[in-house]
Structure 1
Amino acid sequence: MDQGAIAEGRAGAAGTGPEPATVAGSRVRILTYNIRHCRGTDGRVAPERVAEVIAATGADIVALQEVDVGRARTGGLDQADEIARLLGMTPHFHPALHIEEERYGDAILTRLPSRLMRAGPLPGLVRRPGLEPRGALWVEIAVGALRLQVVTTHLGLLGAERIAQTEALLGADWLGDPACRAPTVLLGDFNATSWTRAYHRLTRRLTDARRIAGRNEGRRGGASFPSRFPLLRLDRVFVGEGLTVERLAVVDGPLPRRASDHLPVFADIRLDDR
């Protein structure tokens, strides 16, 4: 794997910028990663390769998108369970798509104490019934004596679709639920650049972690898609009150560029214990 140093918010996958992260007091490393059902840019399905990329980052909490469970195209494997097993973590999974025994959706993995708070669908467009179904997953995670609310999602490809889904996420069932009290992190593949309406709607309530990290470190996180030649920032971390983002970086290098068509993005976060 690449042994280069961090530059412009980009980190190598092993032995580079991401020093192994352990929960120290109220600090935690959280990562989001669209794994494209573990099918790499070389066409090979390899959950162990995805797990290796994640393990090298030392992440404590991992949000995954495009996870296959029991699907014929990936050998019927429960990818959420297998990746969690390889990492020594506990998986939480929500299938946005469920056809007979085949499931496909989002997961949150962690080695910290956790409990599932909510898993469910997000709205599509009534006039476009054939769009891929989307969902979200909310898990409460104990970070020392504190409780962190972690919500992950993978929004749709159409602007109107993303707006409907963003409004739902900000509504009473998700971030607007009284149980989803600060501190809160929303992360995943938003299919939204910084000039889209969905992005601006989210930043009225939450803060893009890249902006805080850029202010703290004098640099900004880089693009994560497509992995072979990253151009777009689609994979994002948003934070609420009570959180400080100490660092944010895209995980880059030969292995991450093969393992999926997205690169992972991690953020080092400090919880305000006051």
Structure 2
Amino acid sequence: MTRGGQVPRIMTYNVHRCLGTDGRLSPARIAGVIAAYEPDVVALQELDVGRVRTGGIDQAHAIAQALGMQVHFHASLKALEEEYGNAILTHRPSHLVKAEALPGWARKPGLEPRGALWAEVQIGGTGVQVINTHLGLRRHERLAQIEALLSPRWLGHQACREPVILLGDLNATPRSRAYRRLASQLWDAQARLPKPRATFPSRLPFLRIDHVFVSRSIRVMRVETVRTPLARIASDHLPLLVEFQVAHGQVNKSSLAHAQE
């Protein structure tokens, strides 16, 4: 799947283990939602790999194969042979830079483990740093996870230079402290829209918790929430699609150095 010569597209999509709002389990349906928009890079959250509850399917590879994409997967949760986590898919040349757990909340050690993965994707001759994550449901854990992502292990890392895109299901609305903390370092791709698009729940979305954040060398051209009939039932979230360009004059100027402070 390729759109050679066109404006690059990136998508974030919480697929809810490919379980639709109609109760049907279908990785193929998720792939169909994505394929209709031909993104260059896709960040997926809530994927099951080898789990009994979803028939033992490797959902990350099944979706990637259907789309003709390479897949980088990170398991946030492992139990024997079963895994659950996030992935970055792309048809562009890419390599995984790192993938690891994010901190939780010390006062609530039983919360669901969270993680992130970072891949460098070649787009138009430029290495774009793409970080996909799925943050926790509690305010305190989200703040700890955002601080970790802003630290020298992630966005503050010397290898995490322009251009950078961080995206995923942050479980944080624009009024939250976690969102505002991240927005102090990166641009929300929807920040300048007259009416930003909500993504959850898919049938009647009113919450904006799925986000795409970009560094200063990324120029956002268009933002769209995918609201096709298929997208409304394939998952409990809608995908968020962003078209962008890289401002080459600013590439390799590290605008994220202050994240290490």
TM bracket, shorter-chain basis = over 0.9
The structural deviation recorded for 1:131 is 0.2
The structural deviation recorded for 1:21 is 7.1
Instruction: Determine the structure 2 residue equivalent to 1:222.
Output: 197
The structural deviation recorded for 1:127 is 1.4
Instruction: Determine the structure 2 residue equivalent to 1:252.
Output: 227
Q: Deviations over 1:13-33 (max 9, x none)?
A: xxxxxxx972537x4100000
Candidates 142, 145, 149, aligned match of 1:165: 145
| Aligned mates of 1:90, 1:248 — CA distance in 2 | 24
Instruction: Determine the structure 1 residue equivalent to 2:85.
Output: 105
Q: Deviations over 1:67-126 (max 9, x none)?
A: 000000001110000000000000000000011100000000000000000000000011
TM-score normalised by structure 1 residue count: 0.89
Amino acid in structure 1 at the alignment position of 2:84: Y
Change (3 A) 1:269 1:199: same
Structure 1 segments unaligned to the other structure (5+ residues): 1-19
Q: Deviations over 1:147-199 (max 9, x none)?
A: 10000100000101100000000001111101010100000000000100000
What is the correspondence of 1:2-17 to structure 2 with a 5 Å cutoff? none
CA RMSD of aligned residues (A): 1.2
Q: Deviations over 1:214-253 (max 9, x none)?
A: 2xxxx43311100011010011000002110000010002
The question of whether the paired residues in 2 share the 8 Å contact of 1:23 and 1:143 is answered with no
Amino acid in structure 1 at the alignment position of 2:120: E
The question of whether the paired residues in 1 share the 8 Å contact of 2:2 and 2:91 is answered with no
Number of aligned residue pairs: 249
TM-score normalised by structure 2 residue count: 0.93
| Aligned mates of 2:242, 2:60 — CA distance in 1 | 21
Runs of 4+, deviation exceeding 4 Å: none
Instruction: Determine the structure 2 residue equivalent to 1:123.
Output: 103
What is the correspondence of 1:44-193 to structure 2 with a 5 Å cutoff? 44-193=24-173
